[in-house]
Homo-oligomer: A and B are copies of this chain.
Amino acid sequence: MREDTLAPHRQFMKQALEQARISFEDQGGIPVGAVIVRDGRVIARGHNNRVQKGSPILHGETDCIQNLGRQKTYRDVTLYTTLSPCMMCAGTIVQFGIPRVVVGQTAVEWPADKPFTGNVEFLRSRGVEVILLEDAACKALFDEFLKKNPEVWLEDIGEE
């Protein structure tokens, strides 16, 4: 995808990253954030809340979907997430028929023997359009968190 086509996506990704920063820097949580956009406007924001609310199911994406509240349809929204969706979040996207997902960081390369690669291929196989930004700022924030609190990351994705 050409960089000028990506530019608007990068603007919305900044708002998702702002959510990740709030989670990590202000609240001591996991730095994954998300926003949902409809008609060119952010209509919901969210971030991982495992640490803050003690909830395993509140990842950036699901927290954002919960914050948006009940919807008649999701066919006209785009979900921005700073990190590639885990299987829970990918399943949620498919179940609710969210047609497009924009991803900041595609993979977490740590631990080396068990990297987290997200579920981009699964989403695409179910007809979801996935745009990968390879956003350096998303990765930089997540790396900072990993240095500080790696065990919480493993817990968040169900690894031991």
User: A interface vs B, CB < 8 Å?
Assistant: 50, 54-58, 62, 65-66, 68-75, 86-92, 94-97, 155, 157-158, 160
| Given A86-B95, A95-B87, A158-B96, also A56-B72 (CB < 8 A) | no
Q: Can you report 10 residue pairs joining A to B where beta carbons are below 8 Å apart?
A: A56-B71, A57-B66, A58-B66, A71-B155, A86-B91, A86-B95, A87-B92, A87-B95, A88-B96, A89-B91
Chain A contact residues, majority secondary structure: loop
Chain B residues whose C-beta falls within 8 Å of the C-beta of A157 in the assembled complex: 95
Across the interface, do B69 and A65 meet the contact criterion of CB distance under 8 Å?
A: no
Across the interface, do A158 and B56 meet the contact criterion of CB distance under 8 Å?
A: no
